Amino acid sequence: MGRYLERADHLTRMLRLQAEALVDRPTGEIYSGWRRIYRSLDREPPGGGLELEPSQQGAAPQFQQTQTPSGQAQRRISDEYTLADSFTLADDLTFERANPNSLWSCFAWGRENARQMRHCISAEMWRSLNLTYLKLQRIRMLDIWLASPEGFYTETAEDIETFMGVAGATMYRDEGWHFMQLGRFIERAQLASGLLLAQLEEDKQSREHSESDWTTLLRVFHAQEAYMRTCGVEIRPEQVLDLLVTDPMLPNSMRRALATVSGELGAVGTGPDGASTEAANRMAGRLRSLVQYEWPDSDDKPKLLILIADLSWQLHGLVNAVYFDY
């Protein structure tokens, strides 16, 4: 439940900022934002990928959509296509039931897990989660697109924050609470590493960094004010990376997430297989050391992010093996 709701929270923040970009941002930045979201989720966009035409480098943004795997169907995308394509992509990420990472799927599976464990959560938690789930059942993409898509994503993010606040205020601090926190922060570390890698790949392909893209990253992590306080107003990608990965006081930093994971594992205690429990704790400790000690001296930050993402998935598997699948 914790993992699904953390994923939903992360997705609503990205989609809210992407919806806001549709109002006044250049076409190139809009499609760059969609590519970043899909790369971070390791999902192929509906109909294929969106790529900038080489002949249009340095010109007014003109795009083509290449359909995979054949690569035969191509079309130029001008401004009138931008909203239509954005509608399709937003619908895939919001209401597509076949997409395991869509907002609808996250709430559906999160609610199902909560339903199975209703004796372990408070009535207020169930009510909060169920109301948001039922709201998603009653609306479709066209409903929010004609009104205010950014408003919908903002309200959904607030619903998730309300649920987390209710959980923190009402849930008994037993194993259930610690497992929910453990799931949330393992998921947070994975999502953060995926999003940062997606942005680095976007910069690599365009051979330059976009200040607006990195500013958006700061907003996704609620870190813009912290960055300006510690680094100033100039956006430098390497400083943004260091802040989002290693800052111990930033609530959504990877270092803070991994420290919480380690603490929650300790609070859960030893599982039925003591040796496997120790393996999970060692894995959590290694993740913390990668961020805290190896990151500052690393000459290959993307490689280190890939390692963190891979070890986070392994830790998820170890937790399942130790506590659920034994």
> How large is the average pLDDT for residues 192-212?
91
Residue 289 pLDDT > 60: yes
Of 78 and 196, the structure prediction assigns the larger pLDDT to 196
Residue 68 pLDDT > 90: no
Residue 79 pLDDT > 80: no
Of 273 and 240, the structure prediction assigns the larger pLDDT to 240
Residue 82 pLDDT > 80: no
pLDDT of residue 307: 96
- Among the listed ranges 22-26, 154-158, 290-294, which one has the minimum average pLDDT value? 22-26
> How large is the average pLDDT for residues 107-111?
97
> How large is the average pLDDT for residues 57-63?
38
Cα 320 to Cα 326: distance, rounded to the nearest angstrom: 8
pLDDT mean across residues, the chain = 89
Residue 62 pLDDT > 60: no
- Among the listed ranges 47-61, 127-141, 251-265, which one has the minimum average pLDDT value? 47-61
b/e string for 171-203 if b means 16 or more Cβ within 10 A?
A: beeeebbbbbbbbbbbbbbbbbbbbbbbbbebb
pLDDT of residue 281: 93
Cα 291 to Cα 225: distance, rounded to the nearest angstrom: 22
What is the sign of the dihedral through the CA atoms of 292, 294, 298 and 304? Answer: negative
DSSP calls for 72-97:
--EEEE-HHHHHHHHHHHHHHHHT-T
Q: For residue 58, what pLDDT band results from cuts at 50, 70 and 90?
A: very low
pLDDT of residue 84: 77
Q: For residue 85, what pLDDT band results from cuts at 50, 70 and 90?
A: confident
Q: For residue 56, what pLDDT band results from cuts at 50, 70 and 90?
A: very low
pLDDT of residue 325: 85
Angle subtended at Cα 79 by Cα 75 and Cα 81, rounded to the nearest 5 degrees? 50
Q: For residue 41, what pLDDT band results from cuts at 50, 70 and 90?
A: very high
Q: Is the peptide bond before 46 cis (omega within 30 degrees of 0)?
A: no
> How large is the average pLDDT for residues 82-100?
91
Residue 78 pLDDT > 80: no
Of 298 and 56, the structure prediction assigns the larger pLDDT to 298
Enter the tokens of residue 25.
């941002």
Q: For residues 291 and 246, is the Cβ–Cβ distance under 8 A?
A: yes
> How large is the average pLDDT for residues 89-111?
96
CB atoms within 10 A of CB 287: 25
pLDDT of residue 237: 94
pLDDT of residue 80: 54
Share of the chain above pLDDT 70, in %: 90
